[in-house]
Homo-oligomer: A and B are copies of this chain.
Amino acid sequence: MYKSISPSNYHVLHPRPVYLIVSRNKSSSLNVMAASWVSPVSDEPFLITVSIWRGSLTHQYISETREFTINIPSEKHVDIVYKAGTTSGREVDKFKLLGLKTVKSSVIETPGLDGMLGFLECTVVNQVEVGESTLFIAEVKAVHVLEELYTRYGWDLNKAKILLHHSGRGFTTPSKLILALK
């Protein structure tokens, strides 16, 4: 009934939320990449992790300024997210390519992206090497969301079409709310 597949088949843990990470170097150049290997890891303080390949421009930028924003795209941003995840900021200005505009952060210098469902301002507090990547552990300093889409229980699933990454060009969104029995 179960079949064993390759123990490197990480898609077994997808679909999962995908984000646009904005980073900044010391000269205030910006870069953006797509990342779905992001997770909350502590609630008090609110800490998150993001795994970033050591060869990437984002890795270089975060290492320089120790901060970044996590931007939450919706279904309509699917092509932007895919392009941001398959091009390198070393070869092209991704902000220009993707027509992205920024919004000011309230605590850190690195901006968020305009038009997303929301964004988080993060500062790195620790890091661990994992394979060819660095796991950045960061504290969330501020959270901004589109007011009409966010309830006291989180995103309104009828309105906020959070984007989840499946595999390659494949994405999806959450469906209806299911309530567990008390």
Tell which of B1, B7, B168 touches A46, judged by Cβ atoms closer than 8 Å: B7
The A interface is mostly helix, strand or loop, or mixed, namely: strand
A147 to B130, CA, bound (A): 30
Residue ID in chain B nearest A13 by CB atoms: B40
- Kindly state whether residue A133 has any CB partner on chain B within 8 Å: yes
Copies in the complex: 2
- Which stretch of A25-33, A60-68, A78-86, A94-102 is in the interface? A78-86
Contact A181 B131 (CB under 8 A): no
| Contact assessment for B132 and A44 in the assembled complex, using a CB-CB cutoff below 8 Å | yes
The size bracket of the interface on A is 35 or more
Convert A107-132 into 0s and 1s, putting 1 for each residue whose CB lies closer than 8 angstroms to a CB of B: 00000100000111000001010111
Q: Please name the residue on chain B nearest to A85 by beta carbon.
A: B180
> What 1/0 flags go to A160-182 for Cβ under 8 Å of B?
00101011111111111111111
A168–B154 Cα distance when bound, in Å, is: 10
Would you call A166 and B150 a contact (CB within 8 A)? no
For residues 30 through 51 of chain A, which have their beta carbon under 8 Å from a beta carbon of chain B? Answer: 37-49, 51
Contact A180 B169 (CB under 8 A): yes
